[in-house]
Amino acid sequence: MSLVARFKAGLARSKEGFLRGIDLLFRGGELDDEFYEALEESLILGDVGVETTLKLIERLRLETKRRKVTERSRAREILIEEIAAMLSGPAEQPRPAEKPLVILLIGVNGSGKTTTAAKLAHRYRSVGDRVLLVAGDTFRAAAIEQLQIWAKRADADLISQQPGSDPSAVFYDALNAARARQTDVVIGDTAGRLHTRVNLMEELKKINRVIGRLQPGAPHRVLLVIDATTGHNGIAQAAHFNEAVPVDGLILTKLDGTARGGIVVAIQDLLKVPVCYVGMGEQLEDLLPFDALDFANALLA
């Protein structure tokens, strides 16, 4: 299924879908203050965020006025365009001249980083790249074991150490191994950490520094993995992680199980970095490239 179809299917399974109210809102009648107030409330309830919602409402007012649109049904099409425009980030940067491409996955506990690392490895393996996974979550023995299983499924190499090891040391070994093996892509999993835990955020900075010393310019992509069901708290997570290690892109997981997908819009508007992938299931193939227009259609269709 397409992203639109899969996201719609996810919304259909949720009992909290705010889209039902938006659908009724756009069905008929003229654009007036009552309509805009109701739309504002619906978007905020959908975790689009207050500031982002106000921006969208203002853009919608200006664009409908410019196009002389007065019908609510046509306003829906314009809102879809505005959301897609807001979500359309810069194109993915080319790979570095020197191998490997180094990708670092960060995020809070339970966001789905470990499975996302394997899914991302599978995507690169499917086009012929040699991939090395790094078990940087050394706090949980289960995380290392989990990544070992996923690495076999994804046909990717794995570097790990004993539980409790220094994560920076794991990345040090991994990058040296990657260069020796002529690896194309290194994907680093990291321990989940609450964005409010200063010591753990400092450790993340250390990992970033170690990678940069071994390969100037690396990590080439720092991707923040966010559980889409987290809701508004995901905005605070994004801001704190971006302060610790500048984020290059977003991966939204569990998007098939939430009716509050508006968080995607709020976080992207905050960080001004692209949404790169969305997780839509538990299989290796369930990490899909993000398409802004498809998502906007799914969100408001």
Instruction: Write out the residue limits of the CATH 1.20.120.140 domain(s) in the chain.
Output: 3-87
Whether 181 contacts 132, CB under 8 Å: yes
Q: Has this prediction a pTM greater than 0.85?
A: yes
Instruction: Write out the residue limits of the CATH 3.40.50.300 domain(s) in the chain.
Output: 101-290
The SS3 assignment for 157 reads: strand
Lowest mean pLDDT among 15-29, 145-159, 202-216, 249-263: 15-29
Q: For domain 3-87, which CATH number applies: 2.40.30.10, 3.40.50.620, 1.20.120.140, 1.20.1730.10?
A: 1.20.120.140
For Cα atoms 24, 27, 28, give the angle at the middle one, nearest 5 degrees: 125
- Residue 280 phi/psi, 5-degree rounding, is -125, 20
End-to-end CA distance of the chain: 16
- The pLDDT of residue 14 is 45
Q: pLDDT tens for residues 139-197?
A: 888 899 999 999 999 999 999 999 999 999 999 999 999 999 999 999 999 988 775 67
CATH class of segment(s) 101-290: alpha beta
Radius of gyration (C-alpha) of the chain in whole angstroms: 20
Show the tokens assigned to 212.
């940069």
Q: pLDDT tens for residues 41-72?
A: 988 877 788 899 999 999 999 999 999 999 99
- The pLDDT of residue 260 is 61
Q: pLDDT tens for residues 185-239?
A: 999 999 887 756 778 888 999 999 999 999 999 999 999 998 877 766 777 778 8
